[in-house]
C-alpha cells in the first residue's frame, strides 16, 4: 500500500488530490456534537495543502436515500474543517455537478474544497457495479490523485471507497495507516484476558463479528441495542426493544458455541426501560424504570443497561489485559440513559488494560461524557470498519488502496 509519505515525496504541488474522508459526525440540527472524525483526518488534509496540493475532500454523512436531503448536508462539517485548518474551505453544494466542478476548478495550490454528501447520489452506494462505476468516473474527473483516509467507511463497497481508487493513482492517508497499525496488533499477539464489549444500534451489521470473536476473545459483554436479541435468544421477552428477530437462531448458536469453547458471554441482568424513546433534542426527563432483564414489560423498550449490570460489567473489565469496545451501552445522547456507557468508559479508564474504543458514536460518547481520550489506548474512528477488520475480512476500501 502506498503511503501518503511516498506520495508527498513524489510531489503533489498543483495536483488535485481527492481525499475520501469519513466526516460522518453526530449532529444536533446543524450543530456538530463531536468533531473527532474531522480532527482525525485533519493532518492528512493539512499536510497535502501545505505541500501545495489542491485538496478535494469528500465524505458521506448519515444514510440519505440517494438524493439531496438538507438534514444530511456536509456544510457544518466543511465549516468546522475550515476552523480547524485556520483557512477558508470552499463548500460545493453538489458532489459532481456544476458547483463541485466550479469549486475544484477555482482551487489554487494549497487550497481546500469540500464536496456535498456523496450519498446524495444513488451511484455512491449502488449494488450495481456499472452504476457505481459511472459515478466513480464522474468523481475521477475532479481529481488527479486519490488518498483514502475515511477509515470509518472502508468496509463499504461504495463508489468513492472502492471504485474511485481503481481509476486514479492512490495512497493511504495518515489516519488509515494509524488505525490499521493499532488494529493489526489485536489480530496478532493479544494480551489476555481479552475482553470485547459490544453495544450500539447497528445490530444486523455487527452480529456477524461474534462468530469470529468466539475464536479470539476470552469474554464478551453485550449491551446497547445488541442485548435484546441475546435476551430473546435466551428465551426472554424484550417488549418493544430493538430486536433482530431473524438473528435469534444464530445468536442461540453463538451462546451454545461459547459455552463449549469456554468463552464467557455476559448479558445484562437489569435494564432501564420506558414506553417511549426519549426526546434527544429537548432532553426532557425520561423517568425510566429499572427492571430485571428477564422481566421487560410488553409495552416497554430497553434503552440502557441497569445499575446492577453496570457493576457487573465493571467487574468483568477489571482484570482485562486487552479490551475492544464498540457501541454505546444505551441511548447515551440522553442523560437518563448515559450511565451504562459512562460506567464502561470509567472501567476502562480505571483498568491498566490496553483499550481500543471503536466507532463514530462510541468515540463521540467517550468525549461527550467528559472522558480524556488519552486515558484509552486508541480511539478508532471506525465501528463497523474496525469490527470487520478484526474479523479478518477483506475490506473494500483497504483492498482498493493496495498497489
Ligand X SMILES: Nc1ncnc2c1ncn2[C@@H]1O[C@H](COP(=O)(O)OP(=O)(O)OP(=O)(O)O)[C@@H](O)[C@H]1O
Ligand Y SMILES: O=C(O)[C@H](O)COP(=O)(O)O
Q: Which residues are annotated as a binding site?
A: 22-24, 37, 60-63, 119, 156, 206, 302, 333, 359-362
Structural contact between residues 21 and 381, judged by C-beta atoms closer than 8 angstroms: no
Clarify whether 37 is annotated catalytic: yes
Among 76, 123, 133, 383, binds ligand Y (CB under 6 A): 383
Which residues are documented as binding site for ATP? Answer: 206, 302, 333, 359-362
Q: Which is nearer to ligand X, 143 or 207 (CB)?
A: 207
| Count of residues of this chain found to bind ligand X when the rule CB under 6 A is applied | 23
**Side-chain-facing half-sphere of 94: CA atoms under 13 Å:** 12
* Distance (Å) of CA 139 to CA 17, 93, 142, 297: 11, 15, 5, 51
Q: Concatenated DSSP letters for 350-365?
A: HS-SEEEEESHHHHHH
Clarify whether 360 is annotated catalytic: yes
Residue 393 DSSP class: P
Q: CB of 359: closest distance to ligand Y in angstroms? A: 6
Residues 135-174 within binding reach of ligand Y (CB under 6 A): 152-153, 156
Structural contact between residues 386 and 358, judged by C-beta atoms closer than 8 angstroms: yes
Q: Which is nearer to ligand X, 111 or 125 (CB)?
A: 125
What residue 153 binds from ligand X, ligand Y, none (CB within 5 to 8 A, per partner kind)? ligand Y
List residues bridging with 112 in a β-sheet: 55, 89
Angstrom distance (rounded) from CA 5 to CA 167? 21
What contacts 293, CB < 8 A, 6 or more positions away? 227, 231, 236, 267, 268, 269, 270, 271, 302, 306, 309
Task: Classify residue 66 as left (phi > 0), alpha (psi -120 to 50) or beta.
Answer: left
Asked if 358 touches ligand Y (CB under 6 A), the answer is no
Q: CB of 97: closest distance to ligand Y in angstroms? A: 23
Asked if 384 touches ligand Y (CB under 6 A), the answer is yes
What residue 63 binds from ligand Y, ligand X, none (CB within 5 to 8 A, per partner kind)? ligand Y
Tally Cβ neighbours within 10 Å of residue 208.
Answer: 15
Among 384, 390, 398, 401, binds ligand X (CB under 6 A): 384
Q: CB of 60: closest distance to ligand Y in angstroms? A: 7
Structural contact between residues 174 and 47, judged by C-beta atoms closer than 8 angstroms: yes
Q: CB of 33: closest distance to ligand Y in angstroms? A: 14
Q: Which of 2, 157, 202, 393 does the annotation list as catalytic? A: 202
Give the x/- contact pattern for ligand X in 150-179, rule: CB under 6 A.
--x---------------------------
Distance of CA 289 to the CA centre of its chain: 30
| Count of residues of this chain found to bind ligand Y when the rule CB under 6 A is applied | 9
Asked if 225 touches ligand Y (CB under 6 A), the answer is no
Among 22, 336, 339, 391, binds ligand Y (CB under 6 A): 22
Asked if 76 touches ligand X (CB under 6 A), the answer is no
Angstrom distance (rounded) from CA 88 to CA 354? 39
* Distance (Å) of CA 165 to CA 300, 379, 399: 47, 26, 10
Angstrom distance (rounded) from CA 302 to CA 365? 19
Q: Which is nearer to ligand X, 36 or 225 (CB)?
A: 225
Asked if 214 touches ligand X (CB under 6 A), the answer is no
What residue 22 binds from ligand Y, ligand X, none (CB within 5 to 8 A, per partner kind)? ligand Y
Q: φ, ψ for residue 36 (rounded to 5)?
A: -55, -40
Which residues are documented as binding site for substrate? Answer: 22-24, 37, 60-63, 119, 156
**Active-site amino acid positions:** 37, 202, 360, 384
Residue ranges in contact with ligand X by CB under 6 A: 152, 199-202, 224-225, 242, 302-303, 326-328, 330-331, 333, 359-362, 382-384
Residue ranges in contact with ligand Y by CB under 6 A: 22, 24, 63, 152-153, 156, 360, 383-384
Amino acid at each position: 500500500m502506498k503511503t501518503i509519505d511516498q506520495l508527498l515525496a513524489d510531489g503533489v504541488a498543483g495536483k488535485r488530490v481527492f481525499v475520501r474522508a469519513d466526516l460522518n459526525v453526530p449532529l444536533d440540527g446543524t450543530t456538530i456534537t463531536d468533531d473527532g472524525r474531522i480532527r482525525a483526518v485533519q493532518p492528512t488534509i493539512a499536510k497535502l495543502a501545505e505541500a501545495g496540493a489542491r485538496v478535494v475532500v469528500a465524505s458521506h454523512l448519515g444514510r440519505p436515500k440517494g438524493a439531496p436531503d438538507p438534514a444530511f448536508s456536509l456544510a457544518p462539517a466543511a465549516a468546522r474543517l475550515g476552523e480547524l485548518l485556520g483557512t477558508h474551505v470552499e463548500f460545493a453544494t453538489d458532489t459532481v455537478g456544476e458547483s463541485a466542478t466550479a469549486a475544484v476548478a477555482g482551487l489554487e495550490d494549497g487550497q481546500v474544497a469540500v464536496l456535498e454528501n456523496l450519498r446524495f447520489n444513488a451511484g455512491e452506494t449502488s449494488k450495481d457495479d456499472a452504476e457505481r462505476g459511472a459515478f466513480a468516473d464522474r468523481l475521477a474527473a475532479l481529481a488527479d490523485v486519490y488518498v483514502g483516509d475515511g477509515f470509518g467507511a472502508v468496509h463499504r463497497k461504495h463508489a468513492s471507497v472502492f471504485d474511485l481508487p481503481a481509476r486514479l493513482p492512490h495512497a493511504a492517508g495518515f489516519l488509515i495507516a494509524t488505525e490499521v497499525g493499532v488494529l493489526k496488533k489485536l489480530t496478532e499477539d493479544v494480551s489476555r484476558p481479552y475482553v470485547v464489549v459490544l453495544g450500539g444500534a447497528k445490530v444486523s451489521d455487527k452480529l456477524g463479528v461474534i462468530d469470529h470473536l468466539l475464536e479470539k476473545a476470552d469474554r464478551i459483554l453485550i449491551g446497547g441495542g445488541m442485548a435484546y436479541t441475546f435476551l430473546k435468544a435466551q428465551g426472554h421477552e424484550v417488549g418493544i426493544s430493538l430486536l433482530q428477530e431473524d438473528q435469534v437462531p444464530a445468536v442461540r448458536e453463538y451462546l451454545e458455541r461459547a459455552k463449549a469453547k469456554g468463552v464467557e458471554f455476559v448479558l445484562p441482568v437489569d435494564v432501564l426501560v420506558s414506553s417511549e424513546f426519549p426526546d434527544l433534542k429537548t432532553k426532557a426527563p425520561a423517568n425510566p424504570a429499572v427492571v430485571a432483564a428477564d422481566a421487560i414489560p410488553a409495552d416497554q423498550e430497553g434503552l440502557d443497561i441497569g445499575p446492577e449490570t453496570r457493576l457487573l460489567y465493571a467487574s468483568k473489565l477489571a482484570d482485562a489485559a486487552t479490551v475492544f469496545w464498540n457501541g454505546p451501552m444505551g441511548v447515551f445522547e440522553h442523560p437518563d440513559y448515559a450511565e451504562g456507557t459512562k460506567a464502561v468508559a470509567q472501567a476502562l479508564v480505571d483498568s491498566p488494560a490496553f483499550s481500543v474504543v471503536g466507532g463514530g458514536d462510541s468515540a463521540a460518547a467517550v468525549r461527550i461524557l467528559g472522558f480524556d481520550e488519552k486515558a484509552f489506548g486508541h480511539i478508532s474512528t471506525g465501528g463497523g470498519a474496525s469490527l470487520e477488520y478484526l474479523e479478518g475480512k477483506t475490506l473494500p476500501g483497504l483492498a482498493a488502496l493496495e498497489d
